């Protein structure tokens, strides 16, 4: 894919390969490693705007970063007032870019009129963006292309977002009812990209260099956002940037584990780590026993010993 830097309001990124927000996965420890691997921009997972207003426990941990120039905060909500207050508040004060989640398909979020439910209401979505823009933050949005098979709201939302002052739009090329399955709709992204002059980032189903090239060629997007592919192949970013990976998978897995310990303490780290094991070990033959060990171990030493045995 063609690499280029992108201007997002006041921020100029080093490249156009971004790491997606992923709840429960893209925490501080993973984002830190991702930045070392070379992503142009990484994102916190979605954080409730109202939760920030009411100082909900854990928000600080979700928003933790030591690189505000390369990390965007993502918020979700449906009330323009609270969304703006979140942008102006203490928690987000050091972030330059605030992304608005308009794609989360999870029923709990959708039923509250948040996340992908906003795709039902372009007027409310425009009010949210306009209010957030008043905060002075560089506002971006992340959408899906609709709710049901056959929907395509990407073009209308892209134009609306640009008119309201958004600085970038990320399009996950699937509808809500598809969650994370199926080929992305390249044409929907292509049409939206052609209609606006702010950068458009294409997302969905990128697990290899070929997938990224196909996405860029078929959509004309300004860049790509990797999500599950970033876990199944942590060094995919290096291939896309045509550089050598800085370490082997074994070392990466151990660094990630240590990062989780630093972020959460030992007990929670062993539990959090389990989510990543399947992705990291995908494709390695004859490791069923060690995999089970990693998925059941409560001890950091034992996890490291098991990783040593695998490699």
Looking at the Cβ atoms of 84 and 178, the one nearer to ligand FMN is 178
Shortest Å, Cβ 60 to ligand FMN:
17
Q: Binding residue for ligand FMN (CB under 6 A) from 93, 121, 149, 180? A: 180
Q: Is 185 a residue that touches ligand FMN (CB under 6 A)?
A: no
Q: Which of residues 116-145 bind ligand FMN (CB under 6 A)?
A: 142
DSSP string, the chain: ------EETTEE-S-SEEEPP-TTTS-HHHHHHHHHHT-SBEEEEEEEHHHHHTT-TTHHHHT--S-TTSEEEEEE-S-HHHHHHHHHSSTTTT-SEEEEEE----HHHHHTT-GGGGGG-HHHHHHHHHHHHHTTSEEEEEEEEESSTT---HHHHHHHHHHTT-SEEEEEEEEGGGTT-S---HHHHHHHHHH-SS-EEEES---SHHHHHHHHHHH--SEEEESTHHHH-TTHHHHHTT---SS-HHHHHHHHHHHHHHHH-HHHHHHHHHHHHHHHHTT-SS-HHHHHHHHH---HHHHHHHHHHH-
Instruction: State yes or no: residue 162 binds ligand FMN (CB under 6 A).
Output: no
Give yes or no for residue 228 binding ligand FMN (CB under 6 A).
yes
Q: Which positions from 49 through 78 interact with ligand FMN, judged by CB under 6 A?
A: 74
Question: Are 118 and 125 contacting, i.e. CB atoms less than 8 angstroms apart?
Answer: yes
Q: Check residue 227 for interaction with ligand FMN (CB under 6 A).
A: yes
- Contact between 157 and ligand FMN by CB under 6 A: the answer reads no
Choose, by CB under 6 A, the member of 9, 40, 146, 229 that binds ligand FMN: 229
For position 103 contacting ligand FMN by CB under 6 A, the verdict is: yes
Comparison of 221 and 300: residue with beta carbon closer to ligand FMN:
221
Residue 23 within binding range of ligand FMN, rule CB under 6 A: yes
CB of 237 to ligand FMN, least distance (A): 13
CB 170 within 8 A of CB 142: yes
Name which of 132 and 300 has its Cβ closer to ligand FMN: 132
* Contact call for residue 310 and ligand FMN (CB under 6 A): no
| Contact (Cβ atoms closer than 8 angstroms) between residue 277 and residue 252 | no
132 catalytic per annotation? no
Among 33, 46, 132, 261, contact with ligand FMN (rule: CB under 6 A):
46
Minimum distance, C-beta of residue 255 to ligand FMN, in the bound complex (Å):
21
Q: Assess 205 for contact with ligand FMN (CB under 6 A).
A: yes
Q: Catalytic amino acids? A: 104
> Which residues are near ligand FMN by CB under 6 A?
20-25, 45-46, 74, 101, 103-104, 142, 172, 180, 203-206, 227-229
């Amino acid at each position: 894919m063609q690499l280029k830097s992108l201007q997002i309001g006041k921020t100029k990124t080093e490249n156009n390969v971004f790491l997606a927000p992923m709840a429960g996965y893209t925490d501080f420890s993973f984002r830190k490693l991702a930045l070392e691997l070379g992503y142009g921009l990484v994102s916190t997972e979605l954080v409730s705007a109202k939760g920030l207003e009411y100082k909900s426990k854990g928000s600080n941990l979700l928003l933790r970063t030591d690189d505000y120039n390369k990390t965007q905060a993502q918020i979700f909500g449906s009330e323009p007032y609270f969304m703006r207050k979140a942008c102006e508040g203490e928690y987000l004060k050091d972030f330059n870019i605030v992304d608005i989640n308009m794609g989360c398909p999870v029923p709990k979020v959708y039923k509250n009129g948040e996340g992908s439910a906003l795709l039902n209401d372009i007027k409310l979505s425009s009010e949210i963006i306009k209010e957030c823009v008043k905060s002075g933050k560089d506002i971006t949005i992340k959408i899906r292309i609709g709710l049901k098979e056959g929907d395509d709201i990407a073009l209308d939302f892209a134009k609306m977002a640009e008119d309201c002052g958004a600085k970038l739009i990320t399009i996950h090329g699937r509808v809500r009812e598809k969650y994370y399955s199926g080929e992305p709709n390249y044409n929907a992204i292509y049409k939206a990209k052609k209609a606006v002059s702010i950068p458009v980032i294409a997302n969905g189903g990128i697990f290899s260099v070929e997938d990224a090239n196909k996405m860029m060629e078929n959509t004309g997007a300004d860049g790509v956002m990797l999500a599950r592919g970033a876990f199944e192949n942590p060094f995919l970013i290096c291939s896309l940037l045509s550089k050598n990976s800085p370490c082997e998978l074994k070392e990466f897995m151990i660094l990630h584990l240590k990062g989780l310990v630093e972020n959460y303490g030992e007990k929670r780290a062993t539990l959090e780590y389990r989510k990543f094991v399947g992705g990291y070990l995908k494709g390695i033959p004859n490791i069923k026993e060690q995999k089970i060990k990693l998925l059941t171990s409560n001890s950091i030493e034992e996890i490291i010993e098991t990783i040593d045995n695998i490699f």
